[in-house]
Structure 1
Amino acid sequence: MDGANSTSTQPSSRTSIHVTAIDSIVNVNSLFTIAIFIGFSFTVPKAHIVGNTQSCHVGIETVRRLIVSEIVSFSSFLFSSLIAQSLKLTINSLNSLDPIEHLKADINSSALKFGLLGSAVGSVVGCLSLIVSISYAIQVKLGVISCGGESVFAVAVLAVLVGLGLLIYIMATILHLFHCFIPQIMADK
């Protein structure tokens, strides 16, 4: 009897874990989207640059690249959030079909895996585009990287810290996909 109870609670806990993970993806993507809009509002082509050397000033092409990378980043985060919200809507709709076990849903594990993977890829592309965007914003405000100084330090810290965070995120996502879904797929066969 105990074995039957533990088997029936396992899928419901997995469903709630996926909904929680999807909520987290949407929340983080929302924060990044806000950051992008703040970046848009502070992007000024003729910004005052720290330092007086004319060769350290960015050209209009750098400002254009900044805007393009912000748009790519925004689009990627929106793509990721829309996929995550679609997955959450599907899980919640399937959960509501059974009034007795409203936390358990029978979900195609392959569809869930590819949805989570697509959402993760959108988040990673958005983060990479945001790194590029912020590095251009740093150059607009502090001067081009080739001039050295604070702009090099700021871009280096940004690249190292966010790159390390992205590496951890990618590894955790891969571990989750293989750890949670491969045994389910093998059990289904």
Structure 2
Amino acid sequence: MSATSVHISALDGIVNVNSLFTLAVFIGLTWNPTDPSNSLIDPSGCSAGPRIAEDLVAFHVYSFSCFLFSSLVALGIKQAARLARGAHQQDHRHFWAFDLAHVNKTALRLGYVVSAVGSVTGSVFLMLALVNVVQIKLGVLGCGTGAGHAYAAVVPLVTFVPAGLLIYVCFVFYAFTR
């Protein structure tokens, strides 16, 4: 597999993951956070206020915007790589020249970084939206003894998502320096 094919496969992966996260954002936006029958907390407990519901919607919109931006950048780079590869193939008229496109590595690397930043930012906003979902469903964090279930849900979220993002950023940085 040539370098151009690897780049195109990596860009496909970014777009596919962003598509899944975008689906999660839309599902989250269709849920009505103010529906009283959709809550798991005791009515006398620490219910989330309208500010948390507003933040939930805002974080979903920010997340969607970041994932869409990242996907569009990745698709643009992928299209440019395919066009460059096609132009190179027409010049040499050899079957094996298909994967030997001349792609501006600086532009490719910059595009990867911009797309990765969009994906990471979208993931952070999606995580923040999920924290607000937890607060609406299980009670506000920092509300005392009634927030135990909320913390039990939020702690793995804010532990594993940043850890995964750190691993992702490390691999993007590794690919960027090669």
How high is the TM-score relative to the length of structure 2?
0.90
Gaps of 5+ in 1: 1-11, 181-189
Aligned to 1:35: 24
Q: 2:98 is paired with a residue of what secondary structure?
A: coil
**Cα offset, 1:46, TM superposition:** 3.2
**Cα offset, 1:55, TM superposition:** 4.6
What are the equivalent positions in structure 2 for 1:1-189 lying under 5 Å apart?
A: 13-47=2-36, 48-97=38-87, 98-99=89-90, 100=94, 101-147=97-143, 148-178=147-177, 180=178
Cα RMSD (Å): 1.3
Counterpart residue type for residue 87 of structure 1: I
* Cα distance between partner residues in 1 of 2:31 and 2:135: 13
CA contact (8 A) 2:74 2:115 kept: yes
**Cα offset, 1:50, TM superposition:** 2.0
**Cα offset, 1:140, TM superposition:** 1.0
Residue correspondences, number: 168
Gaps of 5+ in 2: none
**Cα offset, 1:41, TM superposition:** 1.2
**Cα offset, 1:68, TM superposition:** 0.4
* Cα distance between partner residues in 2 of 1:157 and 1:149: 13
1:86-109: CA deviations, max 9, x gaps? Answer: 000001111111142122210111
How high is the TM-score relative to the length of structure 1?
0.85
